[in-house]
């Protein structure tokens, strides 16, 4: 018993040392954004008891999906050290393509969905190819794209202005369908935690077999445990309202899938390599043009998918779709979540954390009847803080010989 306590204390002390080292070396990872999120939640909960209610959190979990998906695409572009300013326009364009095909021309919903998403992929790929070939910075190419695609969207919508979507249709159900059975949410939590445990355990087994350093079983257990507790708590909350939202399930699947693509595939490795410098990647025989084109195609695709989810949430498409603060929110989400503006550092989960912060602030402001002006100022402050942390951690890494 005493021995067990001692080893626990030693483990905690070990974490403390690691934490201090990472703090001074500027490798904080997701810690700052998690702290910010906690502060935001505590402040709004103290202002209004309903903020952390199952109903509000459940709505929040659906509200993050549209912009969150766009932010995931932005993470890919940030990894290259570039910026995509066209995602707002592309999301509007995709929604308009869907609305005109389905509502105005009677094309089946699934086909209209596929065409709308492909429209995003193609526009993104066109921008990516121009960026790769002309070597004009991506933010300039996509700035041109922002205007072009927005114009194209207005042209497609024509004089019709606002198009209302079928309330009971496939697209509308993307954000209105809930798995009311409690087992759906708990099952997802269990499967997620189980998969993480299995992958870490399998990794440990193979490493041990060839005599390489590996994680201790306790470290794997703690990691999986923290994840499982968070997941089951979220599932419990969701079940106390309407159950697991379909939109949230799809969002998490996409984020997890793209995370695997980035960190565990040949393609993802190339994206990270390009983030540290085109020349080094080129000399390692990488096809720079292809990777750059593919990255902007991913960001265009995610923008289109996100735009469709946003349209689904309000079941209408108008000339304002994809305009306003959407673009800024998507970029801010990726950066607040911890993806570096300098390229080469970040994962798709950064987008999830970032959009959670942004949407929490928006939701809290709405629930406490604070004017939008204040919301912008606060979101701006958080974004500024995130950029400063990014820059400071980079400078601190340089001082520690790590950048």
Partner 1 sequence: MPTPPLLALHGVCKRFGVVEVLSDIELEIRAGQVLALLGDNGAGKSTLVKAISGVTPADKGVIEWEGRAVHIRRPNDARELGIATVYQDLALCGNLDVVGNLFLGREIRRHGFLDEVEMEHRTRHLLQRLTRGIPDLRAPVVSLSSGQRQTVAIARSLLGNPRVILLDEPTAALGFEQTAEVLDLVDELRDRGLGVLLISHNMGDVKALADRAAVLRLGRNNGFFDVNTASQEQIISSITGATENAPRRPAHREAEW
In the complex, the residues that contact partner 1 under the rule CB under 8 A are 203, 206-207, 210, 212, 260, 264-266, 269-270, 272-273, 275-277, 279-286, 343-345, 397, 400-403
CB closer to partner 1, 325 vs 403:
403
Check: CB of residue 120 under 8 Å from CB of residue 94.
yes
Beta bridge partners of 163: 317
CB closer to partner 1, 93 vs 273:
273
Total residue count of the chain as it appears in this document: 403
If DSSP codes are grouped into helix, strand and coil, which group holds residue 352? helix
As a whole number of angstroms, the distance between CA 392 and CA 377 comes to 22
Nearest approach, Cβ of residue 14 and partner 1 (Å) = 17
Tokens of 15: 């974490």
Backbone torsion region of residue 163, taken as left when φ is above 0, otherwise alpha when ψ lies between -120 and 50, otherwise beta: beta
CB closer to partner 1, 145 vs 345:
345
CB closer to partner 1, 206 vs 395:
206
Nearest approach, Cβ of residue 321 and partner 1 (Å) = 36
CB closer to partner 1, 107 vs 288:
288
As a whole number of angstroms, the distance between CA 98 and CA 107 comes to 9
Nearest approach, Cβ of residue 330 and partner 1 (Å) = 23
Tokens of 174: 């993307």
CB closer to partner 1, 316 vs 391:
391
Nearest approach, Cβ of residue 20 and partner 1 (Å) = 17
If DSSP codes are grouped into helix, strand and coil, which group holds residue 83? coil
Check: CB of residue 298 under 8 Å from CB of residue 72.
no
Check: CB of residue 221 under 8 Å from CB of residue 241.
no
Nearest approach, Cβ of residue 277 and partner 1 (Å) = 7
Nearest approach, Cβ of residue 320 and partner 1 (Å) = 39
């Amino acid at each position: 018993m005493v021995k067990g306590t001692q080893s626990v204390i030693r483990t905690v002390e070990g974490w403390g040392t690691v934490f201090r080292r990472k703090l001074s070396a500027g490798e904080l990872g997701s810690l700052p954004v998690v702290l910010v999120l906690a502060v935001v939640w505590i402040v709004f909960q103290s202002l209004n008891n309903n903020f952390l209610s199952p109903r509000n959190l459940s709505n929040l979990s659906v509200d993050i999906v549209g912009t969150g998906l766009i932010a995931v695409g932005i993470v890919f572009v940030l990894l290259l050290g570039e910026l995509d300013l066209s995602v707002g326009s592309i999301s509007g364009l995709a929604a308009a393509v869907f609305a005109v095909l389905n509502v105005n021309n009677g094309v089946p919903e699934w086909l209209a969905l596929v065409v709308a998403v492909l429209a995003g992929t193609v526009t993104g790929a066109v921008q990516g190819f121009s960026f790769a070939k002309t070597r004009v910075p991506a933010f300039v190419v996509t700035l041109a794209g922002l205007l072009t695609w927005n114009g194209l969207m207005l042209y497609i919508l024509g004089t019709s202005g606002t198009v209302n979507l079928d309330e009971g249709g496939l697209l509308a159900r993307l954000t209105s369908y809930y798995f009311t059975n409690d087992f759906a949410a708990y099952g997802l939590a269990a499967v997620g935690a189980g998969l993480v445990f299995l992958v870490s355990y399998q990794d440990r087994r193979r490493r041990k077999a060839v005599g390489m350093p590996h994680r201790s079983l306790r470290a794997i257990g703690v990691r999986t445990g923290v994840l499982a507790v968070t997941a089951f708590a979220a599932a419990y909350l969701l079940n106390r309202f309407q159950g697991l939202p379909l939109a949230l399930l799809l969002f998490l699947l996409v984020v997890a899938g793209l995370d695997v693509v980035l960190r565990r595939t040949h393609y993802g490795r190339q994206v990270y390599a390009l983030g540290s410098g085109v020349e080094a990647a080129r000399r390692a025989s990488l096809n720079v043009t292809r990777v750059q084109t593919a990255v902007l195609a991913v960001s265009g695709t995610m923008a289109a998918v996100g735009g469709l989810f946003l349209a689904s949430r309000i079941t209408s498409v108008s000339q304002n779709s994809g305009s306003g603060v959407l673009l800024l929110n998507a970029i801010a989400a990726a950066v607040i979540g911890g993806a570096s503006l300098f390229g080469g550092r970040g994962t798709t989960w950064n987008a999830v954390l970032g959009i959670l912060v942004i949407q929490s602030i928006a939701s809290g402001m709405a629930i406490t009847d604070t004017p939008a002006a204040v919301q912008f100022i606060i979101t701006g402050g958080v974004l500024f803080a995130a950029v400063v942390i990014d820059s400071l951690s980079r400078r601190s890494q340089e001082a520690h010989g790590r950048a």
